[in-house]
Structure 1
Amino acid sequence: MREQYPVLPGAEPFYAEHGPVGVLLVHGFTGTPHSMRPLAQAYAKAGYTVCLPRLKGHGTHYKEMEQTTFHDWIDSVEEGYEWLKERCGTIFVTGLSMGGTLTLYMAERYSSIRGIVLINAAIDIPAIRTGMAAEGEVPRYLDSIGSDLKDPEAKELSYEKTPTASLVQLDGLMELVKSELERVACPALIFVSDEDHVVPPENADIIFRGIQSSDKEIVRLENSYHVATLDYDQLFIIERSLQFFAKHSG
């Protein structure tokens, strides 16, 4: 039986019901809805119906995350998608980091998704496999990977430790999604930070080459690190993604 932990203040999901066009937002690995809330609020203010779920095992305690699998994280996103589908005829998905991986997963399986916005999406992190293959015993918990931010005033709400078991799950998710990239055919806006200390920026190029979308674009972020949604380029990301939604919502 899984131990229950309270949700951290600030890690709550965000929902807003407005127009017939919906946006599903997905936060990253060991993170919380906090990292995507500024985007969610901006989209809601612009008149979109918004769903920003808290992924299972996230926003509570890293020991709870350790007990979840990537299938649990997929379940959380699919539940959000179903919530939007009951309210909207058009749905976009926006994801940060592993949230971008999950966004690609959704686009691979739900052809009705109108378009996707990826922000430093993870598809291939060799350091995970290298770490697991290292000689000696792999520690149960590693240091936090949160708050990779250029802005010294910004702080991400994320776990202070990273469960090794969860990294194995992330690697499995990325491998699955990467193997089926060609199934993605919807329009794609791909943001990538020039300097990212969590996900290699080359991931954006792998995604761009792998997806079959005829309408796809890579946008470079010159003034943010990994958690760009809380960094100096936040307003630029919001502005460009809103333009993307308007262009493709029909």
Structure 2
Amino acid sequence: MTNENIMPGAEPFFFAGNDIGVLVSHGFTGTPQSMRYLGEQIHAAGYTVMGPRLAGHGVSPAAMAKTGAADWIASIEEAMNQLRQTCKQIYMVGLSMGGTLTLYTAAKHPGVIQGAVTINAVVRVGSPGMAAVAYDRTAPDTVPGIGSDIKAPDVEELAYKEVPVTAFREAYALAAVTHDLLPTIACPALVITAREDHVVDPTNGPLIAQRLGSSRIELSWLDDSYHVATLDNDKLRIAQQVVAFIRSIAGQ
């Protein structure tokens, strides 16, 4: 979609392991950088891990403005299909909009995704201010970015400093669509939510857990992290929970 160079540190990653594949997705305006530590920890447990870069991300806001939800979904499905070539089971983990994409993918590919983990995922934006901007023809092309909401000192997320309104509109729609798909999701789910999040309303966690159609649903609260929890004080705890969750289903 663009000939521009990828931002240093925003590169996708792939760690070869056993035949259990784990697809990890970063969030809106972010990059694989926010998921690399988690990916490394999952790989250390023996699993094959893929962290794709969503279309339009990790390049420039102008590049992102040329993409939408269908492109981000395509990025995930491409990575999922690559994992399926060598892995017999596929699990997915996502942060923020990556969590939304995790839920969407679990709903659309029920025979593929064996377990879903969301970290501060959004299915209801719940912001009148953002809603007012989404379809306002007089709104500016971009609004201030939402990245790097992290409690730990001296830690920064690699994310855009400004957000194209067109892309935000797409994210809004993706959240709404995914919200309505939640009852169709049947795979086991682990819903991880920070109690203090300045980007996504923490009520999204219980909302997701309540609406999922899964027979196994775990809701876990984080007490020492903000929105980008995979880079925050609870990052090791998250990794341990994710590995334990996958192991409990995969049996290895």
Band of TM-score, shorter chain? over 0.9
Q: How does 1:17-166 map to 2 (within 5 A)?
A: 17-112=16-111, 113-127=113-127, 128-132=130-134, 137-166=138-167
Is the Cα contact below 8 Å between 2:134 and 2:168 reproduced in 1? no
How far is 1:14 from its partner? Answer: 0.6
Aligned to 2:214: 213
Query: Deviations along 1:40-62, whole A, 9 cap, x unmatched?
Result: 11111111011100000000001
Provide the C-alpha distance between the structure 1 equivalents of 2:146 and 2:132, rounded to a whole number of angstroms: 16
Does the C-alpha gap of structure 1 residues 3 and 241 become closer, same or farther in structure 2, counting only changes over 3 Å? closer
Please say if residues 144 and 160 of structure 1, whose CA atoms lie closer than 8 Å, have aligned partners that are also in contact: yes
Displacement of 1:189 after TM fit? Answer: 0.6
Deviation at 1:226, TM superposition (A): 0.2
1:11 CA displacement:
0.3
List 4+ stretches of structure 1 deviating above 2 A. 130-134
Q: Check conservation: 2:20, 2:89, Cα contact below 8 A.
A: yes
Q: CA deviation at 1:76?
A: 0.2
Give the whole-Å Cα distance in 2 for the aligned partners of 1:205 and 1:46: 29
Partner of 1:5 in structure 2? Answer: 4
Partners in 2 of 1:156 and 1:174 — Cα distance?
Answer: 22
Q: How far did residue 206 of structure 1 move?
A: 1.3
Percent of aligned pairs with the same amino acid: 42
Supply the RMSD in Å over aligned alpha carbons.
1.2
Deviation at 1:132, TM superposition (A): 3.3
- Structure 1 gap ranges (5+): none
Aligned residues: 248
Note the C-alpha offset of 1:139.
1.3
Paired with 1:133 and 1:156, the residues of 2 have a C-alpha distance of 28
Tell me if structure 2 keeps the 8 A contact 1:4–1:64: no
Change (3 A) 1:220 1:34: same
Structure 2-normalised TM-score?
A: 0.96
> If the length of structure 1 is used for normalisation, what is the TM-score?
0.96
Report how far residue 158 of structure 1 moved.
0.4
**Contact 1:118/1:189 (<8 A) preserved:** yes
CA distance in 2, matches of 1:23, 1:77: 12
Q: Which amino acid aligns with 2:9?
A: G
Counterpart-to-counterpart distance in 2, 1:195 and 1:86:
39
